[in-house]
Chain A
Amino acid sequence: GENVEQHPSTLSVQEGDSAVIKCTYSDSASNYFPWYKQELGKRPQLIIDIRSNVGEKKDQRIAVTLNKTAKHFSLHITETQPEDSAVYFCAAIDSNSGYALNFGKGTSLLVTP
């Protein structure tokens, strides 16, 4: 099955700096890569996703890049704000095999003022 590894497990940045979280996956058939944000005590929520036919996707201050050859994808957050503090999870799935997301173990991001 798919194995997703996520790094780093914790990340601390100062407000205004950029944050980068990286994930690798093992199944070359994976074709959908979402990122979820989970604030303390709340449910995970989708913040951005990318499909295998796209190399990069941006949404305001967040962007995701995908390198299918190397089987890794990354989340980039620019101009970080304290409200970006949360746990971020990457995931990968071969959508032809049903909907079973394989999540990384998460990155706890702390943005200090």
Chain B
Amino acid sequence: KAGVTQTPRYLIKTRGQQVTLSCSPISGHRSVSWYQQTPGQGLQFLFEYFSETQRNKGNFPGRFSGRQFSNSRSEMNVSTLELGDSALYLCASSLFENTGELFFGEGSRLTVL
């Protein structure tokens, strides 16, 4: 069974641009969540989707948004990029609705210049 797939793996943007990251969960997993990982802050929760509904949102500005499609694939978008948005963005999926193992993708490394 294929794992969680994230694209693109690496990208470089400039301030003010916007970016869209994609995540394909493990087949059968309906819960998808996104995390931002930075050296100083660890893993910070962005948002979580289940059956196309956003159930939770972390403490990030409105520039960060996401969605989930009917096939459970998810995208997250960051608009008006800032230097501080440079990070590894990790997507994770879970078989269960609210517990159990999270399976992480390899992440999308975003660099904002």
By a beta-carbon cutoff of 8 Å, the part of chain A in contact with chain B is 1, 32, 34, 36, 42-46, 49, 51, 89, 93, 95-106
Contacts and interface: CB of A to CB of B under 8 A. Distances in A.
A16 B55 CA distance: 44
Contact of A46 (B33, B41, B102): B102
A98 B98 contact: yes
Given A44-B90, A46-B102, A98 B50 contact: yes
A98 B56 contact: yes
Interface of B: 31, 33, 35, 41-45, 47-48, 50, 55-56, 58-59, 90, 94, 96-99, 101-102, 104-107
User: Which 4 pairs between the two chains have the least Cβ-Cβ distance?
Assistant: A98-B55, A100-B56, A105-B42, A103-B43
B97 to A, nearest CB: 7
Given A1-B59, A43-B107, A46-B101, A101 B45 contact: yes
Contacts of B31: 99
B33 A100 contact: yes
Given A98-B55, A99-B94, A100-B58, A106 B43 contact: yes
Given A44-B43, A51-B99, A101-B43, 18 more contacts: A1-B59, A32-B99, A44-B90, A45-B104, A49-B101, A89-B42, A97-B55, A98-B55, A98-B97, A99-B48, A99-B56, A99-B99, A99-B102, A100-B55, A101-B33, A103-B43, A105-B41, A105-B42
Nearest to A41: B106
Nearest to B107: A43
B110 to A, nearest CB: 16
Contacts of B102: 34, 36, 44, 46, 99, 101
B56 A89 contact: no
Given A1-B59, A43-B106, A45-B104, A89 B43 contact: yes
Contacts of B45: 100-103
B5 to A, nearest CB: 12
Contact of B90 (A43, A95, A100, A105): A43
